[in-house]
Amino acid sequence: MTFRKYLVLAGVTVFAAAGDSMLSHGMKQTGNISLNHLQGVIFAVLNPWVAVGILLLLAFFATYMTALSWADLTYVLPATSLGYVLLALVARFALHEHVSPLRWLGIALITGGVGFIAGGPELTKHPHADEPVNKACAVAASPPFGEAQGKLLAKNATNGAPGVKV
Amino acid sequence: MRGIYTWGAILAIVFASVIGDVLLARAMKQVGDVGALWRRAGLGVVIGRTLGNPNFLFGVTAMAAAFFSLLFALSWGDVSLVAPAAASLTFIGNAVAAKIFLHEKVDRRRWIAAGLVAAGVALLAG
């Protein structure tokens, strides 16, 4: 795991939490939307809170997909639930709301669970995978491959090998 | 009677979002490391390859189905029941599905974590 990858996981957490809360704030301003008055959806989207919330959720989706491209689903998902912890902490320390003991217990459980996951490997290696795609992924994700490839490219470059662009 | 509808909708949410997550995870493993691909081939290739992946499109469709099930569930039941129940059951469902369909190595460490996070989410989202 590189620093950049931790940054992507942090993005998953923050964008999900911020996007959800902005959307919820905006939707409370616009009021109820019923199936008989679907044009209400258009007014809802024009609300700046809702619009920014949607943009943030798009950013969440992009970071989530990026994380899933190099990490297991069971590794990435706990990061999304850290968002609940973030929201509770914002509620307590920024908005000075009351956070009940049960919620503190919930925060402790999620944090503990995420800590458990973070201590392990982020990607299952498939040494005997039937699918070439998975195999290629597992190999590409391991650092020695990148290093060796880089050295090979550098070597080719210094040798002036034809057709190799660096 | 209302309770049955609510739980039916909750199960539909869980089912659809587990399918969606598994398909999206599989799609992104097929696309490959997005960061490396971006540096090598550019952002256009990353987006094109993702949007052109059938698993991605089915995954997004399943996520949309989960969202509409959520709307139905919320019209029958309280948000204080629907949100935590759906979130924590999805969490457990994903761990099981990732093991079966994605062949992820869900070892004891990850089972414990899944249980802890599911319990924590149930407490916090309520």
Burial string for B81-120 (b: 16+ CB within 10 Å, else e) reads: bbbbbbbbbbbbbbbebbbeebebbbeeebbebbbbbbbb
Separation between Cα atoms, residue A60 and residue A22, nearest integer Å: 13
Judged by CB atoms closer than 8 Å, whether chains meet at B117 and A110 is answered as yes
Identity of the residue numbered A88: A
- Helix or strand or coil: residue A152? helix
Nearest to A65 among B24, B109, B119 (CB): B24
Residues of B within 8 A of A76 (CB-CB) are 25
Residues of A within 8 A of B91 (CB-CB) are 77, 81
Asked if residue B31 lies in contact with residue B50, where contact means CB atoms within 8 angstroms, the answer is yes
State the ipTM, two decimals. Answer: 0.88
Residue B84 has pLDDT above 50, yes or no: yes
Nearest to B124 among A70, A84, A146 (CB): A84
pLDDT tens digits, one per residue of B15-32: 999 999 999 999 999 999
Residues of A within 8 A of B124 (CB-CB) are 84-85, 88, 103, 106-107, 110
A35 touches chain B (CB under 8 A): no
Q: What is the domain partition of chain B in residue ranges?
A: 2-125
A118 exposure class (CB count in 10 Å sphere: 0-12, 13-18, 19+): middle
Residues of B within 8 A of A84 (CB-CB) are 120-121, 124-125
Nearest to B123 among A65, A66, A109 (CB): A109
Judged by CB atoms closer than 8 Å, whether chains meet at A65 and B102 is answered as no
Smallest Cα distance from B3 to chain A, Å: 22
Confidence of residue A165 (pLDDT cuts 50, 70, 90): very low
Residues of A within 8 A of B22 (CB-CB) are 73
- How many A/B residue pairs have CB atoms within 8 Å? 130
Burial string for A120-154 (b: 16+ CB within 10 Å, else e) reads: eebbbebeeeeeeebebbbeebeeeeeeeeeeeee
pLDDT in the model for residue A9: 93
pLDDT in the model for residue B43: 92
Asked if residue B70 lies in contact with residue B85, where contact means CB atoms within 8 angstroms, the answer is no
For residue A139, give the nearest of B110, B32, B42 by alpha carbon: B32
Confidence of residue B72 (pLDDT cuts 50, 70, 90): confident
A108 touches chain B (CB under 8 A): yes
How high is the mean pLDDT of chain B? 90
Can you give the pTM of this predicted structure? 0.77
pLDDT tens digits, one per residue of A54-111: 999 999 999 999 999 999 998 898 888 888 888 888 888 888 888 889 989 998 998 8
